[in-house]
Structures are given as structure tokens and as C-alpha cells.
Amino acid sequence: MGLMHILRIYLKLVLRLKNEQIDIIKIGGSIITNKSEYRTLRKKQLLLLSKELAKWEKKCIIIHGAGSFGHTVANQYSIHLGFSNQNQLKGILQIRKDMLELTEAVTHSLVENGVNALSFQTSAIVFENEGGFSFHFNPVKKALSLGFCPILSGDVLFTEAKGFRIFSGDALIRLLVQHFDVGRVIFISDVDGLFLQDPETKEDKLVSSLTTNDFENVEIGELNQDDSKDVTGEMRGKIEEIKSILEHTSEVILVNGFHPERLTLVREGDKFVGTTIINENST
Ligand code: IPE
């Protein structure tokens, strides 16, 4: 084997390593917090997930939601409507305090279980201008390349037009996939996946796999999910985020975090209870 040949193989390997696609994993607030009780952490659930994520082989960025550490106070002070009065500042301070606590709990649990988890505060590196977002992802990129697993979260974002807004973890992912080489986005939440109504039996059925084309043809009205109807709205909103995320990734996975063994199967590339949406246009 000639030296040039060996060099070529080496260069290919280096290139492949350099171009390694990452996974983005979103841990929904519904899974690590009790959404109906202010600032309640589901410690056991977080521990089980951390153990699972410690075995993740691919490089990844982990995004966690807010659950009752964010939404409760955000609603109380109408943070989602933007700035209207000075009193809202108190709300934002409280959310910052609570979210720091949640991020610290998530990061600590991951580190304890062997993940090189390093947190970044989303609103410190992302801003919304009139015409789009400005952001500074270089620290996250460098940390990732050094072997850290960056942790980010949904946050109260400062915006040019309205002062501030709620920026969900899903919206953050939508931005990240445009600027990182992301192979898969995995949403860990408290639902099994995507449910579609069977037109004949009218029963809701979990769809295990579908393509972006199938997905495009899915009528939002047909979408449903297993248990509580009041969160259906959340799932509908998510569909739009997923559609846009799929423009930049090859796969989106929806899996129920209350069954960590399903995550093991996702990690090992085996069949699992959940939904995989494949972008058939990606190579
Ligand atoms: C919301 O983030 C952020 C705040 C309310 C500060 P997410 O919308 O991603 O949180 P979950 O996953 O729905 O709880």
C-alpha cells in the first residue's frame, strides 16, 4: 500500500471525524418537573434519564424545558406578551433564579453520572432582532469539539421589538439545526409519540414511522394524542417546529421519557415504542 493511499485514507477519516453529525436531545419540562406544581423536580426521572444519556455514544447537545420552573411564573407575569410594565421584571428575575436551579439540577445529575455536561445560558447568547435572530454559538461549538456536552434550555429571550418573549427549547432547536451539523433531534416528553386518527375506526393510533412527505400531508386537525386533550394544542404547535427542524436534519424522534428503556432502544438503533419522522430528502 503506497504512502499516498494511506494518506488518503487518513484524510478521509479526519474529514469524517470533523464532519461527525451530532444529536440534539430535548428533555421536555413535562418529564423532569411536575408541571402542575410550581418548582417541583422529578428527581428520580432525571436520574434515570441521566444514566441513559451517560451511555449516549454520539456527541450531543442537550436542551431542557422549563416545566413548572418557568411556565408558572411566566404566565403569572404575562412574559409571553412582551414588556408592558416594570412589575414584569420581578417575574423575569424569579424565572432566572428558578431556571438556574433547574439547569443546575440537570447538569449536576448528568455530571454525577459521567456526562461532561456544561451549561450555557440561552438568553446570553441569543437575541431576537426585528428581522431574525443574532446569536453567538462559537463557545458552544468549541465546547462540543473539546468533548463537552453543552446544556441549554428554553428561556426568557430579550427581543428588539417587544422587550422579551418566551423562547421554548423547541424554538432554540429550530435555530441550532441551522448552524450545527445535526443528524437527529430526539424529543423526550411525557407522550408516546404522534397519534393519528384512523379514518375508519376513529381510534387514535401511535404512528411508529413516517416520512417528511407523509408528515406534510398530515392535517393538523387529525393529530391527536393518547391521554390529556388539553395538551393537544402543545403537540399541534410542535408539529410546525418539527416540520421546520426536518428541513435541516435527517430524523426527528419522539419518545416517552417515562419509559427510559425506550431510550436505550433508540440509542442502540433498535425498534422502540415511539415515532420516527424521516427526512427522505437527506442523504
Ligand atoms: C420554556 O421552555 C421556557 C420558559 C418558560 C422560561 P420550553 O417551552 O421548552 O419548556 P417545556 O419543555 O415546555 O416545559
Range of the domain at 219: 22-278
Is 168 part of a structural domain of the chain? yes
For residue 274, pLDDT over 70 is answered with yes
The Cα angle at residue 171 between residues 166 and 175, in degrees rounded to 5: 125
Residue 221: helix, strand or coil by DSSP? Answer: helix
CA of 209 from ligand 1 middle (Å) equals: 26
pLDDT in tens, 110-152: 999 999 999 999 999 999 999 999 999 999 999 999 999 999 9
pLDDT in tens, 68-81: 999 999 999 999 99
Is 167 part of a structural domain of the chain? yes
For residue 102, pLDDT over 60 is answered with yes
- Averaged pLDDT, 6-13: 63
Amino acid type, 80:
H
Is the CB–ligand 1 distance for residue 257 below 6 Å? Answer: no
Atom of ligand 1 nearest to the CA of 70: 5
Is the CB–ligand 1 distance for residue 193 below 6 Å? Answer: no
Residue 260: CATH number of its domain: 3.40.1160.10
Protein residue with its CA nearest to atom 10 in ligand 1: 65
d(CA 201, CA 96): 47
CA of 156 from ligand 1 middle (Å) equals: 9
pLDDT in tens, 165-192: 999 999 999 999 999 999 999 999 999 9
Tell me the pairing of strands 194-197 and 117-119.
unpaired
Q: What's the pLDDT band for 14 if we cut at 50, 70, 90? A: low
For residue 156, pLDDT over 80 is answered with yes
Is the CB–ligand 1 distance for residue 66 below 6 Å? Answer: yes
The number of domains in the chain is 1
Please tell me the least confidently modeled range out of 13-27, 35-49, 116-130, 157-171: 13-27
Protein residue with its CA nearest to atom 8 in ligand 1: 168
Is 4 part of a structural domain of the chain? no
Is the entire prediction scored with pTM above 0.75?
yes
Is 11 part of a structural domain of the chain? no
Beta-carbon count within 10 A of 257 CB: 23
pLDDT in tens, 197-231: 888 888 889 999 999 888 777 755 445 444 443 33
Is 91 part of a structural domain of the chain? yes
Is the CB–ligand 1 distance for residue 166 below 6 Å? Answer: yes
Is 7 part of a structural domain of the chain? no
Is 115 part of a structural domain of the chain? yes
Calculate the average pLDDT of the chain. Answer: 90
Percent of the chain with pLDDT over 70: 87
Q: How far is CA 171 from the centre of its chain?
A: 9
**pLDDT number for residue 221:** 47
Is the CB–ligand 1 distance for residue 107 below 6 Å? Answer: no
